[in-house]
Amino acid sequence: MAGTKKKSQADSHYSQGNLLDACEQGQDQANAIDLGDLFAHQGEGDQIDLDNSFAAALKRQQEKKESQSMQVSDSANAINGTQAQTAASPKRSRKGTTTAKESVTSKEAKSTRKKKSTIMPPFDYPIDPVTNVICGVDEAGRGPLMGDVVAACVVLDHNNMIPGLNDSKKLTEKARDELAVLIKEKAIAWGIGRASPEEIDEFNILNATYIAMGRAYIAMKKRCNLALIDGNRIPKTLAEQGIVCETVVKGDSKVPEIAAASILAKTARDADMYELDKLFPQYHFAKHKGYPTAEHLEILQKLPLLDIYRMSFGPVKRILEQKATNPQY
């Protein structure tokens, strides 16, 4: 995974319209932004998934896999030897406990509530979404300890809307995967952008998220009249290009375009985790998706820290310090 070169303060600025010009003219590279020379090369086509950093990571990890396999295998055996498999014993029926019939009824009620919660109320757009081009922007992967932060940008066709859109966190994985296919088929335009762990460590997670959002907008290759951003902060990578932006708190559960962006970002990052899980099954990436769960942290105590980890994140830094002071740790 290639690192990002730092640039001088003289280079640290946007040139007005560079981002939009790159979208329209199909330039290979947008001009420098205030966080450095960060926008990846574009290819052909209306929609591009800028996943260069992840592809490079996979290549590097594949090359290192053989050299690390002995150490990983020994450590994994130690983990497996300490994890006992226990079968869940049936609970006795006592006064005040839930019967099987009541449990089924409760599950049905929860299922009904979940279905109702996935129906988005109509959103009051600041401009007409039929006659104007409005994109929604959202991200996935700010909290995990490893991997890229991924952003997506989506323009929907309001004459051919996609039913079932909502905040990706409120949907099942199956529903997200199915909707991601529909979004890519029916959206007027969509794009995915990434920022690598090196960029996260160098610029911090907030600025790296802005970088990913800027790349997602470039990848979409569509000039927008308005960008609706999930949250309460406007990305400088969009605002300083003259793109009109508005934030919407919890926008992924209010605005269809943001919901669609959240689904594309989430499914793209999850796909990364499944690919990494194939390379390094001992790390259980497919299970914890890189988040600092107790199991994930326990694994990191015994297995090597791969270079796809975010070394500036607190839990990773502490493990690095522990391993440095105690070679047998």
pTM over 0.95? The answer is: no
Residue 315's pLDDT band (cuts 50, 70, 90): very high
Quote the pLDDT of residue 119: 78
Band (38; pLDDT cuts 50, 70, 90): low
**What is the share, in percent, of the chain residues with pLDDT greater than 70?**
63
Helix boundaries (H) for the chain: 18-25, 52-82, 100-117, 173-186, 197-203, 205-220, 236-239, 256-279, 285-288, 294-302, 314-325
The pLDDT assigned to 120 comes to 87
For 82-128, write each residue's pLDDT tens digit: 444 444 444 444 544 545 555 545 555 554 444 445 678 999 999 99
pLDDT of residue 179: 98
Q: What is the mean pLDDT of the chain?
A: 78
Question: For 97-109, what is each residue's pLDDT tens digit?
Answer: 545 555 545 555 5
pLDDT in tens, 240-260: 888 999 999 999 999 999 999
Q: Where are the domains of the chain?
A: 16-56+119-274
b (16+ CB within 10 A) / e for 299-324: bbebbeebebbbbebeebeebeeeee
pLDDT at 61: 61
From the options 3.30.70.100, 3.30.420.10, 3.10.180.10, 3.30.360.10, give the CATH code of 16-56+119-274: 3.30.420.10
> Backbone phi, then psi, for 190, in 5-degree steps?
-155, 155
* pLDDT digits 0-9 by tens, 136-178: 999 999 999 999 999 999 999 999 999 999 999 999 999 999 9
Cα dihedral value 303, 305, 307, 311, nearest 10: 160
pLDDT at 99: 52
Residue 313, pLDDT > 60, answer yes
Please give the average per-residue pLDDT across 216-244, as a whole number: 94
Q: Which residue has the higher pLDDT, 208 or 65?
A: 208
Can you tell me the mean pLDDT for 34-39? 47
Structure tokens at 213: 């959002």
Give residue 117's pLDDT.
Answer: 52
Among 50-64, 85-99, 220-234, 243-257, the range scoring the smallest mean pLDDT is 85-99
- Per-residue model confidence (pLDDT) at position 45: 35
pLDDT given at position 24: 39
Whether residue 135 has pLDDT greater than 80: yes
Say if residues 144 and 273 touch (Cβ distance below 8 Å).
no
